[in-house]
Chains A and B, each alone.
Chain A
């Protein structure tokens, strides 16, 4: 465990040092963050009018969902995209061999090799939005409430990671799966809005098949202090199951890996 933490620190220190070479990118990331957030807020404001609301959520509580989505999006650009998008490249160029030979778990190496500051503004602004909107919506922070909220956020991150890693794993067979993750991203935009705003059929699909509900709606409910015990337990269960599945799937996929030149 200690060895993994030490490796992680080295990985990220070198990655950040490399990224800071491109200072113009910081400006672009900030602009992109502001634009995206303004756009999200604008679109969601269109749904609110006299006598109209999104699936029975008040304006402030819908903003909490947007905040959670923004945080997840930031985590994607910081951690998931820079790492997991390289898996296909490693398979294509045969460099996966070198990673498998390293005396460290290959899934760990592939998942946490680099970190990019690109998502930090989004994570920050998302957290800010959550705090502001939650206090506006009248959520009162209690120790257990905060703990549940943190737990639900963590479990949504785990689910997101497992989905993405599972998809990226298929590149062992199909090599080019870059756009499969693009489909996933498009589908995940459904998470910008509370799940109860969707028609019933789609709602079930987004809960069971593609667990978007656990990604944003359940954490938002936890932050607002009104999550049901059942939903919280289901979220944890979902996180455990998807993580185990993606771990098993990676192990299974590696058995089919024959390096690029053989």
Chain B
């Protein structure tokens, strides 16, 4: 517990130094807003509404939620880990009596805390521009959404860790991460709500972890989830699947590891 507190507070102080940079990262998550602009135009041109099954208000709320979810589920283990591994800093981390992945987890949580005010600012701006979309999720909904966001973050973090650990073998893991990002971008619900997917594609997408990383928490937050228990069950399943995988990969990887320059 004490380690966790020290780790978090030191990482938070570190992240505060990079406020400006994190503000820019927050800004680079504008994609949902661009997509919202497009979708609302389709909607306004008529004909679409009934077919899409979403009205303008729901659309706005969905994309705003997607933006929020994305902000708090971003993981960048791959880059941090690759840099540390290539520069040999990983050797020090391995010597310490703390699993290095915890350190990255701490950094991520601290970074999210730093992000919070910027996200709040952007959400405020959004409400100012579109006052009719203002909504307040009920306490239960907010709690469920929060839980879902954390679980989504866990999935993303574990997926990225698995790829990061492949660094032990290839040293070019971020090319793999680039490949993973493609289905993530298109299937997670970041660019279009899952409701508008053709049924076959939607069914296929639901078999991958991606929709649970953005779409499901965003639906919860905007108060329009298809199936709460099903979503949570699927997320738990993915976590249960990824956690042992990461642990196994880590064990195998560390055995392979020979520090740079050693």
Contact = CB atoms under 8 A, between A and B. Distances in A.
Specify the main secondary structure of chain A where it touches its partner.
Answer: helix
Contact of B37 (A31, A42, A202): A202
B178 A49 contact: no
Given A179-B21, A182-B25, A199 B40 contact: yes
Given A189-B31, A198-B41, A46 B192 contact: yes
B150 to A, nearest CB: 25
Interface in B141-177: 172, 175-176
B42 interface: yes
Interface string A55-71: 10000000000000000
A183 B24 contact: yes
Interface stretch (A11-19, A22-30, A134-142): A22-30
Interface string B34-62: 10011011101111100100000000000
Contacts of A28: 175-176, 178-179
Q: Which of A25, A35, A39, A46 has the most CB of B within 10 A?
A: A46
Interface string A191-216: 00100011100100000000000000
Contact of A47 (B27, B34, B37, B42): B42
Nearest to B35: A43
A199 B191 CA distance: 17
A35 B183 contact: yes
A186 B31 contact: yes
B96 interface: no
B28 A42 contact: no
Contacts of A197: 38, 41-42
Given A35-B179, A43-B186, A186-B28, A198 B21 contact: no
